[in-house]
Structure 1
Amino acid sequence: MTLPQQAMRLRIYFGENDRCDGSPLYEAIVLKARELHLAGATVFRGPMGFGHSSRLHTAKIMRLSEDLPVVVEVIDSREKLDGFLPHLQKIMGSGLVTLDPVRVLRYGPGAPEAELPAPH
């Protein structure tokens, strides 16, 4: 699989308690992305954050939250991500979804798709 040098990054923000058919939402998102042969997806769990409700979610011991922030990032072409968005809409409740351009410098083993920038 190859990735265009000018690709897109889809970021999906929600809480770790969010579910899809009884499973964690992040799992449903990653499995659907894999099923649709997207280039890759990664789940990040945040130690602290807040969203639309302004309710603070934190991993501090004295304020232990069971609903820490989760971000799923998916990188691929605009066309493939546009095809993924309707599936995402079906399985997501609340949350934030963003899409922004990224420059792919390396993907997978072998030679990089673009010259890596020289260190400053």
Structure 2
Amino acid sequence: MKGLVGKRKLLRIFISLDDKFKGKPLWEYILRMVKEEGLAGATVFKAAAGIGAHSELRTFTVWRLAQDLPVVIEIIDSEEKIKPFLEKLDQVIEEGLVVLEDVEVISYRHRKGE
């Protein structure tokens, strides 16, 4: 898909693994939104530790069953597709951080036949 190569926007969303929207994990709900909006794709990263909006240290502990860990979702696409997505995203994030930055996509490839 050569259409993604060039100057693009990187949308980075910082939320918690425990965040929910309509009873589903928020990160999963956002991925479904990405698909519905036809964005190029998204990647979800679960962090080992972080300090969030309330300056609370959140880290992995083997002794806890529930892990309230930081999650980062990255989405890269054109500004024309990202800007309308931001408006919809604003309706589902109760607490978190959203940043947008300029990037240059050098290469975007996928296997033939897929």
Does TM-score exceed 0.5, indicating one fold? yes
Relative to the length of structure 2, the TM-score reads 0.89
Please name the residue that 1:90 is paired with. 91
Please name the residue that 1:15 is paired with. 16
- Asked if residue 53 in structure 1 is aligned to residue 54 in structure 2, the reply is yes
* SS state at 2:110 partner: coil
**Which residues of structure 2 form unaligned runs of 5+?**
none
Please name the residue that 1:114 is paired with. none
- Asked if the contact 2:5–2:108 (Cα under 8 Å) also holds between the matched residues in 1, the reply is no
Q: Structure 2 counterpart of 1:54, which letter? A: S
Distance 2:31 2:110 in 1: 22
RMSD of the TM alignment (CA)? 1.7
Q: Structure 1 counterpart of 2:95, which letter? A: S
Higher share of residues assigned strand: 2
4+ residue runs over 2 A deviation: 60-65
| Bigger RCO (CA 8 Å, 6+ sep) | 2
Please name the residue that 2:25 is paired with. 24
Distance 2:66 2:27 in 1: 18
Larger radius of gyration: 1
Distance 1:81 1:46 in 2: 24
* SS state at 1:91 partner: coil
Q: Structure 1 counterpart of 2:88, which letter? A: H
Relative to the length of structure 1, the TM-score reads 0.84
Deviation at 1:90, TM superposition (A): 0.9
Q: Structure 1 counterpart of 2:98, which letter? A: V
Q: Structure 2 counterpart of 1:61, which letter? A: V
Residues 1-120 of structure 1 aligned to structure 2 (within 5 Å): 2-61=3-62, 66-109=67-110
Deviation at 1:101, TM superposition (A): 0.7
